[in-house]
Amino acid sequence: MIFIKEKESINKVWRKALNELYKTGFVPSDNRFARMESLAIEIEHPILEKKDSKFPITQGDIDIINKFIISGESEELVCHEWTKLYYHRLFDEPNSQIEYMKKRIKKNRTGIATTWEKEVDQYGDIKPCMLSIIAMKQNEKLYFQLHARACNVYDKLLMNIQEFVSLQRYLAEKLNLEVGRFVFTIDFAQIAVKDIKFVEEIINEK
């Protein structure tokens, strides 16, 4: 398992994850992937910085995603279908999971949300990669932990962290808390065969 810890920078986390996964990940039997390994990330105080220039999604698309995940605005402009799924499963009424989380955290309890719906996802083409969120108050800060079954590190990880840090910041503001630790565990972090040459260019930069 790969462990990565950073103070603030999402970009540094992305680069470290690419480097460590490329160097120490195993070669899976699934021939779509060149590397695979479990990955755990901790960011002490995450900031929403401008994305790394090598990340293959535009800053404009990331900005749209970061806004959509907390507001549901401009869904037709969102380039990532999984983000649309996450927003609706977390926010939609009745029984909004985000509202439930806020109520729990206000009572100094643990807020929990899940995205998997077996009646849909066992048969659907788009299955959620991010499966659950756990959040709680720690020393007047909002601690936020995600669990994902899989993530393509080259073209998804930085975007995923950005969007869920945006959600963490949204909840922290609603609860009058500071942004605290952000923890992300991924069962199978992946580098796709089709992306391996781009990853090698990044990690071999001088």
CB contact at 8 A, 42 and 17: no
Q: Give the Cβ contact number of residue 173 at 10 Å.
A: 13
Mean pLDDT of the chain: 97
10 CB burial (10 A radius; 0-12, 13-18, 19+): buried
**Dist. CA 146–CA 41, nearest whole Å:** 10
Q: How would residue 75 be classed by pLDDT, with cut points 50, 70 and 90? A: very high
Q: What is the pTM of this model?
A: 0.97
Least Cα distance to 179 among 188, 170, 190, 189 occurs for 170
Four-residue CA torsion sign, 195, 199, 200, 201: positive
**Dist. CA 55–CA 58, nearest whole Å:** 8
pLDDT tens for residues 18-51?
Answer: 999 999 999 999 999 999 999 999 999 999 999 9
Q: Residue 148: its pLDDT value, please?
A: 98
CB contact at 8 A, 145 and 128: no
pLDDT tens for residues 152-198?
Answer: 999 999 999 999 999 999 999 999 999 999 999 999 999 999 999 99
